[in-house]
Amino acid sequence: MRKRLLTTTLLATLAICISLCTTVLGEPRDPYQHFFNDTWGDLKEELNNAKMKGKKGILIFFELDECPYCHYMRTHVLNQPEVQKYFREHFLNFPIDIEGAIEITDFAGNPTTQKEFATKAHRVRATPVFAIFNLKGEKIVRYTGKTSGIDEFLLLGKYAAEGHYEKMPFSVYKRKQNK
């Protein structure tokens, strides 16, 4: 009886430790559930939502299904809890398929498709592109390609959220932070 109690206690303690380690280490999570926000595709309405929620702006992830760099960002960066927490705290985040035929409403309230919004309005040719818009719907940051990892992507978020884009290009800001 005593041996069974000891075994049960040991197994319960081990389960708690594993659970805590997973939480502390930040197990990767699906970016479509934990990074991106739900939307009906009305970006003008989303600007109002961002204002009401006290966000700094809106991040658009222009992506393509077959893009290996988009895949890298989804599976190595956007799936990380610390990235998800930071960006959800400061921005509303939405994916846009640059070949998508889904109808959306742009920041000015005009109907368009994902493809037209990406390729015509924002001249997206290569993916991924991260575009951050302020609360007026003006593009304040554009980053093309995959980041080197989590740290650089978080730095990009801070660059936009803290207003450093008004003073210097991202490359200069990044260099100053890495000193």
Question: How do residues 34-83 score in pLDDT, each as one tens digit?
Answer: 999 999 999 999 999 999 999 999 999 999 999 999 999 999 999 999 99
Alpha-carbon span 147 to 149, nearest angstrom: 5
Task: Say what percent of the chain tops pLDDT 70.
Answer: 85
Per the model's pLDDT, the better-predicted residue between 8 and 107 turns out to be: 107
Question: How do residues 138-179 score in pLDDT, each as one tens digit?
Answer: 999 999 999 999 999 999 999 999 999 999 999 999 999 977
CATH 3.40.30.10 fits 28-177, yes or no: yes
pLDDT at 21: 45
Please check whether residue 98 is in contact with residue 124, taking contact to mean a CB–CB distance below 8 angstroms: yes
Alpha-carbon span 160 to 13, nearest angstrom: 43
Q: Strand, helix or coil at 80?
A: coil
Q: What residue spans define the domains of the chain? A: 28-177
Q: What angle do CA 44, 126, 84 make, to 5 degrees?
A: 55
**Burial classification of residue 46, based on how many CB atoms lie within 10 Å of its CB (0-12 exposed, 13-18 middle, 19 or more buried):** buried
Alpha-carbon span 24 to 21, nearest angstrom: 5
Question: How do residues 128-141 score in pLDDT, each as one tens digit?
Answer: 999 999 999 999 99
pLDDT at 174: 95
Query: Rounded to the nearest 5°, which phi and psi values hold at 142?
Result: -135, 125
This prediction's pTM: 0.84
pLDDT at 26: 73
